[in-house]
Amino acid sequence: MKKKSSNMSELMQYAGKHKYLTYSSWALSVISAALALVPFVYIFFIIREVIQVAPNFSQATHIVFNGWMAVAFAIASIIVYFGALMCSHLSAFRIAGNMRKKTMQHISMLPIGFISEAGSGKVRRIVNESSRATETFLAHQLPDMAGAIATPIGMIVMLFLFDWRFGLISLVPVALGFLCMFKMAGPKMAEDMKLYNGALEDMNNQAVEYVRGIPVVKTFGQTVHSFKKFQGSIDNYYKFCVSYCKKCRAPMLWFTMLINSAFAFLIALALILAGGQAITQGVLLNFIFYVIFTPIITTALTKVMYMSENGMIVSDALERIHSILDLNPLPEVEIGRKPQDNCVEFENVTFRYANAASDALRGINLRINAGETVAFVGPSGGGKTTAAGLISRFWDVQEGAVKIGGVNVKDMKYEELMSNVSYVFQDSKLLKTSILENVRLSNPNASEEEVLLALHKAQCDDIIAKLPDGINTVIGTKGVYLSGGEQQRIAIARVMLKNAPIIVLDEATAFADPENEALVQKAFSELSKNRTVIMIAHRLTTVRDADRIFVLKDGQVESVGTHDQLIKSGSLYAKMWKDYQTSVSWRVSTKGTEIKIKGGVK
């Protein structure tokens, strides 16, 4: 990815007028750093006066004044630094918020298939964690960076102001510390930071997928090792972290020792200057001052070290944000065409997922008439869900055309396409808001009466009746949760309110219990009236009454017909039906400790 501007310039583009607060935070931080050095001058004055009047300490008349001046400048430094943080935080929050808004807005324009390909866990981490990294950088680290740059400049002036010999020897551990720092925070660290965030991102993504599979794990008594990808991502993250820590161990040890050893160099120089004789008052005075002053070097160098690391973190965060922002939405025509009816056609359609080794669909030709109810069935990986997704333009085909009402979906405006197609997923999601607002997502202008009618048609009356505040009950609060089948009926009500002429049902009863499944099927019957319906199903009893059944295998249409026609033809569907009937006839009976399986294949 080629960047047109520096990281800082890009961040300021998100700031708007708040960028002046960022600039103000730099200036205030520099002033604070300068003020923080002044107390050491007054401390030097106190030490000098005490040494000069010793042992007649009663003649030291300026100690109180110098002490209060040191305190005053220290307090002033704190107040100015607080102002710097106030400015930087206000700007950082605005920048992080605008970055998230822009990223989410761009995601909303990307094809829906992008989320399934990238992984929801990965996308969520990019949006949240990457913007959070820039927020921390701008709010805290950037003002500190300005102060950390100003502090060494002021220190160098002060180091050579009193005694250039002590000032020069104080810089020796600084130079050596910088060499060790470069070993840790040099160019190689930028690559290590990418690998670290990549491993963390992969682990986060796999964790989300693993949590979604917990019901399967609990059902079959499996362990985390059943999910090899998740276990592998944890192992990769662990190996990288251990390896990186070992690599930085020696440089970090030397860096810490050197930047804290300035006093040792000062002692050595003081002994050399004394030349075996009693140390002079001037040398002693300067020695004491530098012993007190040089610990600032440790703080300054530590900030500089973390500045380089944090800069790399921000650079990597922006690259990850760009991995989304640089993706192009599906091309859209300026003047879209409207479909003539709600029929669906596939004309020689070929589609392959990004980085896939083979086509998911190959040369598909089929037509679904307006008002017809059809089913896509077949073995896993046959292309059922892919074909249904192409109708809603989750992706664009590589060859051929998908048409609605005689119009290529590529020639329709996105809003027009979405108004014609509704998709009911097998795990429909509800937001943490009221039932009313959840249903209204498909039609924000709908009245409460229209929402209630949609809920009634979707067989949701029993759900609404048991909720404490009816349709105004907020899901997920005060113990209000819905089962999978109940959520599916709410999702169907949402689709009914949208009133699209084409409905795609992707294994929509997969997570419903028998009671809920019966109600869901009733809702489907109401939903299917005067609409074109495409059902994707593994449970073949749910599709036997379809007008036509398309059997997909290896990305191609293996056979087409009604349930009875396909059974008589002896096609793949007939074998699937036989296997399905055998599986549902299985039942387990126990006698004592003996378990017998009755029915099924022996």
Pair type for strands 556-561 and 548-553? antiparallel
* Cα–Cα distance list, 269 to 135, 207, 296 (Å): 45, 58, 19
Full-model pTM: 0.61
According to the model, what pLDDT value does residue 77 have?
92
According to the model, what pLDDT value does residue 4 have?
46
Rounded CA separation 156/171 (Å)? 9
DSSP letters of 518-543? HHHHHHHHHHTTTSEEEEE-SSGGGT
According to the model, what pLDDT value does residue 550 have?
92
Regions of the chain short of the pLDDT cut 50: 1-4, 216, 218-222, 224-226, 592-602
Which two structure tokens, joined as six digits, stand for 298? 């440790």
Which two structure tokens, joined as six digits, stand for 56? 């007649």
For the four alpha carbons of 307, 312, 313 and 315, in that order, the dihedral sign comes to positive
* Max intra-chain CA distance, the chain: 118
Rounded CA separation 36/30 (Å)? 10
- The residues, ordered by sequence, that sit 6+ positions from 499 with a Cβ below 8 Å of its Cβ are 443
Strand, helix or coil for residue 372: coil
Q: Count CA atoms closer than 13 A to 187's CA, side-chain side.
A: 0
Rounded CA separation 534/548 (Å)? 10
Q: What strands, in cross-sheet order, belong to the sheet with 361-368?
A: 361-368, 344-351, 399-404, 407-408
Three-state DSSP string of 129-156: HHHHHHHHHHHHHHHHHHHHHHHHHHHH
Write down the CATH number for the domain with range 344-597.
3.40.50.300
According to the model, what pLDDT value does residue 473 have?
86
For the four alpha carbons of 441, 447, 448 and 452, in that order, the dihedral sign comes to negative
The residue with tokens 């099924």 is: 600
Rounded CA separation 39/439 (Å)? 65
Superfamily of domain 7-325: ABC transporter type 1, transmembrane domain (1.20.1560.10)
Cβ atoms of 395 and 389 closer than 8 Å:
yes
Cβ atoms of 358 and 140 closer than 8 Å:
no
According to the model, what pLDDT value does residue 193 have?
67
Q: Count CA atoms closer than 13 A to 17's CA, side-chain side.
A: 0
pLDDT (tens digit, 9 = 90+) per residue, 507-552?
Answer: 766 555 666 667 777 777 777 788 898 988 777 877 888 899 999 9
According to the model, what pLDDT value does residue 209 have?
61
Q: Count CA atoms closer than 13 A to 147's CA, side-chain side.
A: 29
For the chain, domain boundaries? 7-325, 344-597
Q: Residue 476 is which amino acid?
A: G
According to the model, what pLDDT value does residue 221 have?
46
- Radius of gyration of the chain measured on its C-alpha atoms: 35
